[in-house]
Amino acid sequence: MAAVIYFIFSFFFSPYTLAAFFSGFLLGYLIYDECHYAMHHANFKSGLFKRIKDHHMLHHYSEPEKGFGVSSAIWDVIFGSGFSKKKAGQSEKKKGNELKEVQEQQLN
Ligand SMILES: [Zn+2]
């Protein structure tokens, strides 16, 4: 897949610019992927990363017509696609149980 993307980029950049741009692109994608993995598997206890994880779990397992921001709710606020206050403010235990139910339904 990376070779295909490199090939597509080669139409737009000179060789030196392509090397620099593609290196940055790969590094950015790697950082994004590691952050995404952490959002699913790390156990954040509080703070910003916990809020980001909570939003990300709603992004995946809640209403499909809402929550298009993968790592931030900013764009959902701007475009009015945010989750309802009730859903976003549920207790952690209730939210966790709901997510488990949805995940189990998807596995079955
Ligand atoms: Zn995810």
- Gap from CA of 23 to ligand 1 centroid (Å): 24
Q: Cα dist. 101→19, 40, 56, 97, 98 in Å?
A: 46, 16, 17, 6, 5
pLDDT of 30: 95
pLDDT of 66: 87
- Gap from CA of 7 to ligand 1 centroid (Å): 28
Task: Return the amino acid letter for 101.
Answer: E
Q: For residue 87, is pLDDT > 90? A: no
- Give 15's Cβ-side CA count (13 Å radius): 0
> Whole-prediction pTM value?
0.64
- Rg of the chain over Cα atoms, rounded to whole angstroms, equals 18
Helix %, strand %, coil % of the chain (to 5): 70, 0, 30
- Gap from CA of 12 to ligand 1 centroid (Å): 31
